[in-house]
Amino acid sequence: MARIFFLMLIIIPGMLMAQQKRPAHHSDDGFVNPWPGYEKHGLAQVARWILWDRLVKGSRREDSDSVRFDAGQNDPAFLRANRDALTVTWVGHATLLLQIDGLNILTDPIWSERASPVSFAGPKRLMPPGIDFKKLPEIDAVLISHNHYDHLDTETLKKLAAQNDHITFFVPLGLGAFLEDLGIQRYEELDWWQSVRLNGREFIATPTQHFSGRTLWDRDETLWCSWVVIGAKNRFYYAGDTGYFPGFKEIGQRYGPFTLAAIPIGAYRPRWFMSPVHVSPVEAVQAYLDLGARYFIPIHWGTFVLADEPLREPPRLLMETVARRKLNPENFRLLKHGETFIPGKER
Ligand code: ZN
Ligand code: ZN
C-alpha cells in the first residue's frame, strides 16, 4: 500500500507536468487552433452553407466555366540556369516556384487536373499549370502547408520524388507517415516554431489558423502551418491557408522583415463560414502589414473554384484595399498564371 502511495506521488505530478508542457495547439487526438475567438465549424455548418446559402439563396451565382484569365510568361531556360537571382513564379493556386539564394523550392505543388481524391469529380482547374512539369528546374525542397487536396496532391508529390531523389519535403506534424506511404523517405516533419537547416538556409514551420482532413474521419489529426525560409540575403514567408489571426504579428516580430510574402486572397465567401479559416483580400493586406513584408505575392485564387466569391473579385478587392490604405501598389505583385517576378527587375 505504501509503495502504491509513493508511486502515485511520483506519477501524478509527472502527469500534471506533462499536461502543462503540452503546447496549446496540441490536443488528445490531433491539433486545435489556440487563438481566442476562433470558431470551429463542422458538418452542420457545411450543410447550412451548401443547402441554405448555395441552394436556397444562390450564393454562388457565377458560371465559372466561362471565366478564363490571360496566361503569363516565364523563361524555363533562365529558371533552370538561375543560381543567384531571387525569383518567384506563380504556377497557379497556392503553387509557387521560388528561387532563393540558389535553392529551387515549390510550395504546395499541384499539377493535377482536379483538387480532389478522385480523378473524375471535384474542383477542376480553370487554368493549366503555369510551367510545364517537365520544364521545371531541379527542385531542392518542397513546402507542404497542410493536407487539403488543393495543397497536398499525391500524384504531383510522387512525380517530384520520382524526378530526383534529393528533394527534401517539409511537412507539418503528422504528415511524415503520409509521405512514407507514398514512398517518400526524405522529409522534415516540424511542429510550429521548429526549424531545420538545409544547405545553410533555415526553414521554419510557423502557425496558421486553419484545419486539416482528407476524409470525414480524420479532421484535425495532422497539423497545418505556414513556412518561413531564411536565406543569406532574402526572407520568404508562405502562408498556405489561414484565417486572420494574431500569429501574423508574432511571425513578423520573430522572423521579419520579409522580402516576399505569399498570402492567399481567395476562398473567403460566405464570410460567416470561411472567415475563421480563410482571409479575405482586405484581411490579407492587414496580414502583409503585420508580417512586415516588402512584396505581397497573392496566391490561392483564380485556379480552382472552392468558395462562393466571383473569380475576379479577389484581385479587385485586393487592389481597392491597397488604394484605400494608401499603400504602394508596386509592392502588390498580382501575377498571371505562369508569370515570374524578379525583385529589383520590376516591370
Ligand atoms: Zn485548406
Ligand atoms: Zn486551400
Number of domains in the chain: 1
Write out the H or E segment, with its range, that includes residue 291.
Answer: helix 281-291
Whether residue 34 is predicted with pLDDT greater than 90 in this model: the reply is yes
The residues, ordered by sequence, that sit 6+ positions from 33 with a Cβ below 8 Å of its Cβ are: 25, 40, 209, 210, 211, 245, 276
Q: Residue 305 Cα, ligand 1 centroid: separation in angstroms?
A: 13
Q: Residue 146 Cα, ligand 2 centroid: separation in angstroms?
A: 9
Please indicate, yes or no, if residue 44 is contained in any of the structural domains. no
Per-residue pLDDT, 223: 98
Whether residue 116 is predicted with pLDDT greater than 90 in this model: the reply is yes
Q: Residue 148 Cα, ligand 2 centroid: separation in angstroms?
A: 7
Helices and strands of the chain, counted as H and E runs: 9, 15
Largest CA distance in the chain: 80
Q: Mean pLDDT across the stretch 128-133?
A: 97
In this structure, the number of other CB atoms found within 10 A of the CB of residue 221 comes to: 17
Find the CATH number of the domain harbouring 68.
3.60.15.10
Per-residue pLDDT, 52: 85
Q: Mean pLDDT across the stretch 30-38?
A: 95
Whether residue 13 is predicted with pLDDT greater than 90 in this model: the reply is no
Band of residue 281 on the pLDDT scale cut at 50, 70, 90? very high
Q: Residue 209 Cα, ligand 1 centroid: separation in angstroms?
A: 10
3-state secondary structure of 39: coil
Please indicate, yes or no, if residue 129 is contained in any of the structural domains. yes
Q: Mean pLDDT across the stretch 313-329?
A: 98
Using alpha carbons, select from 191, 199, 148, 200 the residue that is nearest to residue 170.
191
Whether residue 163 is predicted with pLDDT greater than 60 in this model: the reply is yes
Tell me the ligand closest to 93's alpha carbon: 2
Q: Mean pLDDT across the stretch 298-312?
A: 95
Q: Residue 128 Cα, ligand 1 centroid: separation in angstroms?
A: 21
At 82-99, the pLDDT tens digits run 999 999 999 999 999 999
Strand partners, 263: 298
Worst-scoring range by mean pLDDT, 40-44, 72-76, 146-150, 342-346? 342-346
Residues having C-beta closer than 5 Å to ion ligand 1: 148, 241
Whether residue 44 is predicted with pLDDT greater than 60 in this model: the reply is yes
In this structure, the number of other CB atoms found within 10 A of the CB of residue 127 comes to: 20
pLDDT top residue among 187 and 344: 187
Whether residue 50 is predicted with pLDDT greater than 60 in this model: the reply is yes
Per-residue pLDDT, 61: 78
Per-residue pLDDT, 229: 98
Please indicate, yes or no, if residue 30 is contained in any of the structural domains. no
Per-residue pLDDT, 66: 81
Grid cell at residue 159 = 512525380
Per-residue pLDDT, 2: 58
Please indicate, yes or no, if residue 72 is contained in any of the structural domains. yes
Per-residue pLDDT, 19: 54
Whether residue 237 is predicted with pLDDT greater than 80 in this model: the reply is yes
Interstrand relation of 168-172 and 87-92 (parallel, antiparallel or unpaired) = unpaired
Tell me the ligand closest to 225's alpha carbon: 1
Q: Mean pLDDT across the stretch 312-316?
A: 97
Q: Residue 149 Cα, ligand 1 centroid: separation in angstroms?
A: 8
pLDDT top residue among 68 and 219: 219
Please indicate, yes or no, if residue 31 is contained in any of the structural domains. no
Q: pLDDT above 90 covers what percent of the chain? A: 82
**Which residue's C-alpha cell is 509557387?**
96
Average pLDDT for the chain: 93
**Structural domain containing residue 276:** 64-341
Per-residue pLDDT, 56: 82
Look up the pTM and report it. Answer: 0.93
Q: Residue 210 Cα, ligand 1 centroid: separation in angstroms?
A: 7
Q: Residue 147 Cα, ligand 1 centroid: separation in angstroms?
A: 7
Please indicate, yes or no, if residue 234 is contained in any of the structural domains. yes
Per-residue pLDDT, 118: 86
Please indicate, yes or no, if residue 332 is contained in any of the structural domains. yes
The residues, ordered by sequence, that sit 6+ positions from 333 with a Cβ below 8 Å of its Cβ are: 295, 296, 297, 298, 341
Grid cell at residue 169 = 519535403
Please indicate, yes or no, if residue 40 is contained in any of the structural domains. no
Worst-scoring range by mean pLDDT, 4-13, 187-196, 293-302? 4-13
